[in-house]
Structure 1
Amino acid sequence: MKPYLIIKAPVLAFLRGAVAGRLAVLAALFAVAPAVAGAREWAAPQGCEIFMTVQAKACRVSNHYTCADDAPGDQWRADFDLDGLFFRSRIDFETQWIESIEGRRGGGPQLTQWLAPAPPDPASFSELIATGIDSFHFDLARSDGGTSTARGYDRLTGRSVTVDGVTLEETEFDFTETDPAGNVLRRARGREYINREMRLFFAGPGESDLGDGLWRPIDGSPLEFVFPGEPGFATSQPKYDCDPMTAGVPGAPLWRVSDGP
């Protein structure tokens, strides 16, 4: 699992990504306006090029891009909800989470988070596909001066799915982030997906505990893969689960990937 929210390069497909991310999931349940008509196209930063747009559940669309000045194998992901860009993350060739930038709503400062040097057990995409399992243990530093530690694993389940013509292999993940005193800041567990050729994680169904002991369901699974020249490429307009009437799951609320503290 690597960034989908402010942590690992997908969990982080929740936080990764998706942990990732992986996911800063909290607050504002169903607080999303109806989707507006018309596509909003997003331009990557100067020197960078978008290579894929992914429409996902939980009212999120992601633009994946690479930048000429980055190390070979580095990839970026920019996540959007109905209000626009809320999260960016960079991973390396091993899908090791390198940095993330979380946009603050309401005029607050943005928060940047980095991978600390010399992780005890670096995340390794190569190890995952070679052995079927990869553990990780690394430290994080934030622009507000805070630090934390992430531990967990990703494991191939042996199952695969095809989504919009793209073959994905399912993974199981477990992720815990703690503060320097050992207090749990957040936990996440569930399923994600990988694509070997792209060397990417994608979010899946799971649940997240924000340190209060309550597990919140979330599903950021991909639904469409859009490539250059196809309609919807480079859009910043999410398509799915943006209507409050259809955003829940039976028996429990579904937190959107942009719902955060």
Structure 2
Amino acid sequence: MKIIATLLPLTLAAFAAGSAVAQSTSPPEGCAGFLTVHTRACTVSHYWRCEDAPEGTTWEVSHDIDGPSSLHVYDREFQWVDAFYFNTGTTERLYEPGPDPISISELLETGQDSYDFTTIEQTGDEVMKLNTRGRDVATGKTEVIDGVTLKTVNVSSETRDETGELIFAAEGKQYVFEDERLFMLGQESYFDGAERWQEDNTPREFIFPGEKGFDDFRPRYGCNALQASLLPPVSQ
């Protein structure tokens, strides 16, 4: 996927050009956005695809209240291929698909999909090889959110380092937008080996090209609650 290795750095350079750009960045030349999604968790994601990329390759750039937070690249099966996290400067790249790559086709056809693959994560000079294993199981139910029908999926996964130590685990409910072959986060619980927490990243609003707000990078939902939780306690 040479096109991915080429366009991801170009996209990151565009985001780094300045704070104004970070609020109105468009896809690189040869690419076009096809969907904007706001979530309950004070985030907004923009999705685009590029002419010269392998069919079905999708870019997702997410913003929170402070600006860009992450950029992901997925292949047609929604296997994670490349990622960059703005807050930490961490990159995560697919090292090898492994014995059981993610397959959204298998999930849609059979109702379940297991996966087992390896990524390389780098933050500064620190490099880690991580193995992720998990299973997605369709519930057989759908939910309609902002006029879009989504399939609901129960998910569970574990990520471990080369010593077998648990680095990250997740379980809960996600959504599949079948028409666009996209996974979207929902209500999940997480564990980083030390702490457990829950998040609700359920989609709230879907905006398509030509609709008002399609190019908006500012989250619309859940931000007041988030800001309130970050305020220092009132002195008595």
TM-score (norm 1): 0.75
- State the partner residue of 1:61: 44
Determine whether 1:156 maps to 2:138.
Answer: yes
Q: Which moved more, 1:142-151 or 1:201-210?
A: 142-151
Q: Which one has more relative contact order, counting CA pairs under 8 Å at least 6 apart?
A: 1
Other structure's SS at 2:53 match: coil
- State the partner residue of 1:227: 208
Q: CA deviation at 1:154?
A: 0.5
Q: CA deviation at 1:202?
A: 0.8
After TM superposition, the structure 1 = structure 2 runs for residues 42-191 of structure 1, keeping only pairs within 5 Å, are 42-104=25-87, 110-143=89-122, 144-191=126-173
Between the two proteins, the alignment pairs up a number of residues equal to 205
Distance 1:204 1:245 in 2: 17
Distance 2:43 2:228 in 1: 12
Distance 1:47 1:247 in 2: 41
Letter in 1 for 2:101: P
Whether the 8 Å contact between 2:36 and 2:45 is mirrored in structure 1 is yes
Whether the 8 Å contact between 1:192 and 1:202 is mirrored in structure 2 is yes
Q: CA deviation at 1:200?
A: 0.4
Whether the 8 Å contact between 2:96 and 2:119 is mirrored in structure 1 is no
Q: CA deviation at 1:196?
A: 1.3
The match for 1:209 among 175, 186, 191 is 191
TM-score (norm 2): 0.82
Q: Structure 1: state its 5+ residue gaps.
A: 1-39, 254-261
Distance 1:132 1:158 in 2: 8
Q: CA deviation at 1:246?
A: 8.2
Distance 1:102 1:82 in 2: 15
The match for 2:219 among 223, 238, 256 is 238
Letter in 2 for 1:234: D
Q: Give every structure 1 segment of 4 or more consecutive aligned residues whose post-TM-superposition deviation is greater than 2 Å.
A: 142-145, 244-248
Whether the 8 Å contact between 1:75 and 1:92 is mirrored in structure 2 is yes
Distance 1:211 1:45 in 2: 38
Whether the 8 Å contact between 1:76 and 1:89 is mirrored in structure 2 is yes
Percent of counterpart pairs with the same letter? 34
The structure where helix makes up a greater share of residues is: 2
The structure where strand makes up a greater share of residues is: 2
Other structure's SS at 2:214 match: coil
Q: Which moved more, 1:176-185 or 1:41-50?
A: 41-50
Whether the 8 Å contact between 2:35 and 2:209 is mirrored in structure 1 is yes
Distance 1:119 1:153 in 2: 15
**Over alpha carbons, which structure has the higher Rg?**
2
Distance 1:157 1:192 in 2: 10
Call closer, same or farther: CA 1:64–1:247 in 2, change over 3 Å. farther
Letter in 2 for 1:64: Y
Distance 2:121 2:34 in 1: 28
Q: Which moved more, 1:49-58 or 1:141-150?
A: 141-150
